[in-house]
Chain A
Amino acid sequence: MTGSPTERPVSFPSGGLLLRGILGMPDGARSCGRGVVLVHGWGGYRIGPHRILVRTARLLLGRGFATLRFDLRGRGDSEGDGTMTDLDGMIEDTSNAVGFLRQECDVGRIALLGICSGANVAVGVAGMDPGVSELVLWSVLPFKSQRPLRRRIARMRHYGLVYLRKALSAGTWARLLRGEVRIGGAFRAIVGEPAGISRGRDLKDSRRDLMSAFASFRGRALFVTGTLDPEGMEGRRIFMPFCRRHGIRAEFELVEGADHSYYDPAHAEAVVERTLSWLLDESASGGTR
């Protein structure tokens, strides 16, 4: 069999809801030493894009880490109304996931590994939980309040030109007539995914100043970004000087040619391998690079 026999489904409470997850314990041991909580992105669930979180969790498990991949409220198999889930609720859930892993496995050190919005959630938790000693942030985005208008215009220009080129192709028009072109998809690519809005509030925004809280983070962090991920690159441009300014021990890794979700298997491999070696590097002294 592949996978670990010590993976088991679990549930734990958060904000009056029950959340579902898969807990991995190395050799079934109660005391694990180190643990990793894996946090999925906004529209996904505990497996992550192309199961990258399943694969990473199992590799970590094989290296002696306790792991917990779980569904945020309103996502995956957890309780909650997904249309109402907001960033602050996700942070609360992840904080409770950390508590649950501590309680179940008696871990000494806990790392958070998040992808996309899950990475932003991890930043939010790290700013308030001193027990989180390591952060692995894949494709972290700028927080809503940090997104300058000029960047959004640059993004729209980039994708607008791509689709203009396509619109000039005869093949595109033939497919349009056959009803095979999703105009809505092209529109979303150009203007960006719509923000989740509920009762006039942007669900992806926090009521707290998460960056100010993150300034006090005293663990170490690994930021990984694909060079073909415009929003991730914007996140990198914001977090890199921020970490320097606040003395946060951080490494910034670029994956050449990778998109936001590391869909190319070679890119996914690079991200996972780098993450494993970084987490296993006990002697890491950090320093912003």
Chain B
Amino acid sequence: MSLSDEVFFVLSGGLKLLAVFQPANDRARFGILMVHPFGEEKKCAHRAFVETARALARHGVASLRFDLRGCGDSEGDFGEATVRSWIEDVRAAWGVLRERLPDAPLGLLGLRLGATLASRACRDVGPVRALVMWQPIVEGRAEISGELRRLLVQEMVSRGRAGRRRDEIQSRLERGEGTVALDGYPLTPAMYRDICAMRLSDDVPAWPACAGIVQFGRSSPRIEAFAREARCRLGIVALPPIWVRSDFIPGPSAGDLLAREAVLPFLDAE
């Protein structure tokens, strides 16, 4: 029995955020801060993050994974979080990783909204030597619109009808009224506005030279077009969408695949 990682709390904005530092098996040649996705996607993707961190350790890469405020085991109310406060959390976690690895180059790895947050954080932390974005959200507004459509489909499946329309929900949120539950997580008007305003292209000037996007299973034309325009590397990994498939339980082989094909090539490009 052995767990080589270390669990502790990181302080950010007066809140305790749960964090897990995974040291490299040997001397760390790189350090990675892992940023999780939004809402229920985090629950689905958690084990994939853990397996990836453990596989990366075998390749000499240390990592820090942590829960943003209001998420996972961290303190805070999800309904009070904003993109700005989450960036503050990323900054705090980055500081801890830097303390742990004073000499190693550091990078950011994120999934879905976590990838977009990592991209945004390139303006706030530094120096970032690598940015790895797993299936990032390219346009926040389109993403939220898709999420609301999924919500209404779910309602239709379970109740036989959707009792409201997407454009009505969006209008209300834009007017600052009401909160919508996305898989049980409150999407407040403030968070709705924050996410709608997120555009990955805005961050490109702050990206490190070593930036890459990884897609899961199949290629999305939207992401492909974006990667071409941003001139960043594009990879694809033969795994199902780990952020929605709660029936897919990633084992060590999935972690190894993710480390080898969805992280290391983007670090070693240096």
- Chain A residues proximal to chain B, CB less than 8 Å: 1-3, 7, 9, 11, 13, 16-18, 20, 22, 42-52, 54, 74-77, 79, 81-85, 159, 162-163, 166, 179-180, 185, 188-189, 193-194, 196, 228, 257, 259, 261-265, 268
Contact = CB atoms under 8 A, between A and B. Distances in A.
Contacts of A42: 246-247
B39 interface: yes
A166 B181 CA distance: 23
Interface string B150-193: 00011011111000000000000000000001011110000000
Interface in B87-117: none
Given A9-B7, A263-B181, A43 B2 contact: no
Given A45-B46, A166-B156, A18 B251 contact: no
Contacts of B181: 263-265
Nearest to A260: B158
Which of A82, A180, A189 is the most central at the interface, judged by chain B CB atoms within 10 Å of its CB?
A: A82
Contact of A11 (B3, B8, B16, B78): B3
Interface of B: 1-3, 5, 7-8, 14-16, 18, 20, 39-40, 43-44, 46-47, 50-51, 71-73, 75-78, 146, 153-154, 156-160, 181, 183-186, 220-221, 244, 246-252
17 contacts: A2-B15, A2-B77, A20-B3, A47-B73, A49-B40, A49-B43, A50-B40, A50-B183, A51-B184, A54-B73, A77-B50, A79-B1, A82-B250, A84-B251, A196-B249, A257-B159, A264-B181
Contacts of A82: 47, 51, 249-251
A185 B154 CA distance: 12
Contact of A22 (B50, B71, B73, B157): B73
A193 B2 contact: no
A3 B247 contact: no
B16 A47 contact: no
B73 A46 contact: yes
Nearest to B39: A50
Nearest to B250: A82
- Is the contact region of chain A dominated by helix, strand, or loop, or is it mixed? loop
Given A2-B75, A228-B158, A79 B3 contact: yes
Nearest to B179: A265
A54 B73 CA distance: 7
A188 B247 contact: yes
Contact of A18 (B2, B156, B184): B2
A177 B204 CA distance: 31
A257 to B, nearest CB: 8
Contacts of B159: 228, 257
Given A18-B1, A50-B185, A159-B157, A43 B251 contact: no
A107 B208 CA distance: 53
Contacts of A11: 3
B174 to A, nearest CB: 21
Nearest to B5: A77
A179 B220 CA distance: 9
The 7 tightest CB contacts between A and B, nearest first, are A50-B184, A43-B246, A9-B7, A83-B251, A82-B249, A3-B75, A263-B184
Contacts of B244: 185
B78 to A, nearest CB: 8
Contacts of B16: 1, 3
Which of A18, A76, A262, A263 is the most central at the interface, judged by chain B CB atoms within 10 Å of its CB?
A: A263
Nearest to B46: A45
B67 to A, nearest CB: 9
